Amino acid sequence: MLSLDTPKSFSMSELTTTPRVLVVEDETLIREMVCLALQEQGHDVVVAIDGRAAFELLDEASKPGGKAFDLIILDIMLPHLNGLDLCRLLRHNGNTIPILILSAKASETDRVLGLEVGADDYLTKPFSMRELIARCRALLRRQNFTAALPSSMLQVGEVALFVDECRVTVRGEEVSLSPKEFRLLELFMNAPRRVWSREQLIEQVWGMDFIGDTKTVDVHIRWLREKLEADPSKPEYLITVRGFGYRFG
């Protein structure tokens, strides 16, 4: 069963504004308990009971004058448009809002699928409110860090990253990156020549609750090299630092 053991000591003082959270859940009891737990933490909570309604709310929020969301809590089994398809659609459209999936599907295959379509975290039912709030807090903290980055455009050599547009150009040509590739590149370009270990990259881009191993980083680095480097076998930008990890430039 769900337990409403929300920790009162959790403070959101690190965040500069009241977090706005979209809860997409069709089960009334779970939805109400999640909303109550988030509201007790001082969050501004908006509810959708199916995927189509959630997409319409997000579309409205993205328009000029709309009030943006900071986090999406998303059930998988939803009417009209399921959670995986909604997550996939949002990422395809360039939406980078952190997404926490809630699901009764607890197999490794289901968790990996949820992460691969673009979710930032995956929590299986039943769960405690303490764990839910802790995961939300971590995602919001990372989102706040990203929002506080100093420039909306980063450039190193012939690679340019447009933060607000979720767009990257290489030698003047636009390249298509997945959400994880984009976040990985953004992290690198914000700290040129800094050496990142695989574990640090996992924590920053995938989150501390990532399920898998550090080979995921190597795969994404290889994909990025194929898109950024003139000769991926002799990288100019994504450099391997043997025994330590990777650096950019």
Over residues 151-165, the pLDDT tens digits come to 478 888 899 998 878
The first and second tokens of residue 131, run together, are 């764990």
* CA 67 to centroid of chain Cα atoms: 19
Say if residue 39 is in the same domain as residue 120: yes
Write the CATH number for 66: 3.40.50.2300
Say if residue 59 is in the same domain as residue 176: no
Paired sense of beta strands 121-124 and 153-156, if any: unpaired
CA gap 90, 55 in Å, rounded: 8
226 lies in a domain? yes
Q: Could you tell me the pTM of the whole model? A: 0.56
The first and second tokens of residue 146, run together, are 């990203």
pLDDT on residue 144:
66
DSSP letters for 32-84: HHHHHHHHHTT-EEEEESSHHHHHHHHHHHTSTT----SEEEEESS-SSS-HH
Helices (H), the chain: 28-40, 51-61, 83-92, 108-116, 129-147, 179-190, 198-201, 215-228
Q: CA of 75: how far to CAs of 2, 9, 30, 39, 194, in Å? A: 15, 27, 10, 19, 38
pLDDT on residue 5:
39
Over residues 48-96, the pLDDT tens digits come to 999 999 999 999 998 888 888 999 999 999 999 999 999 999 988 888 8
Q: Are 126 and 145 in contact (CB under 8 A)?
A: no
Say if residue 100 is in the same domain as residue 51: yes
By CB atoms closer than 10 A (0-12, 13-18, 19+), residue 234 is exposed
Residue that has been written with the tokens 């943006």 in this structure: 68
Say if residue 230 is in the same domain as residue 196: yes
Higher pLDDT, 147 or 23: 23
pLDDT on residue 1:
38
Say if residue 125 is in the same domain as residue 243: no
Question: If you average pLDDT over every residue of the chain, what do you get?
Answer: 85
Over residues 205-249, the pLDDT tens digits come to 888 777 777 888 999 999 999 999 999 999 999 999 998 999 998
Say if residue 131 is in the same domain as residue 34: yes
Write the CATH number for 184: 1.10.10.10
Domain boundary residue, one of 98, 120, 147: 147
Say if residue 82 is in the same domain as residue 174: no
Say if residue 219 is in the same domain as residue 238: yes
Type of residue at 21: V
* CA 184 to centroid of chain Cα atoms: 11
Say if residue 220 is in the same domain as residue 205: yes
Over residues 83-141, the pLDDT tens digits come to 999 999 998 888 889 999 999 988 888 888 888 888 989 999 988 898 999 889 888 88
pLDDT on residue 141:
80
* Full residue range of the structural domain in which residue 170 is found: 153-248
Say if residue 38 is in the same domain as residue 139: yes
Type of residue at 235: P
Give the residue-averaged pLDDT of 11-30.
76
pLDDT on residue 149:
44
41 lies in a domain? yes
Q: Are 31 and 49 in contact (CB under 8 A)?
A: yes
Say if residue 136 is in the same domain as residue 232: no
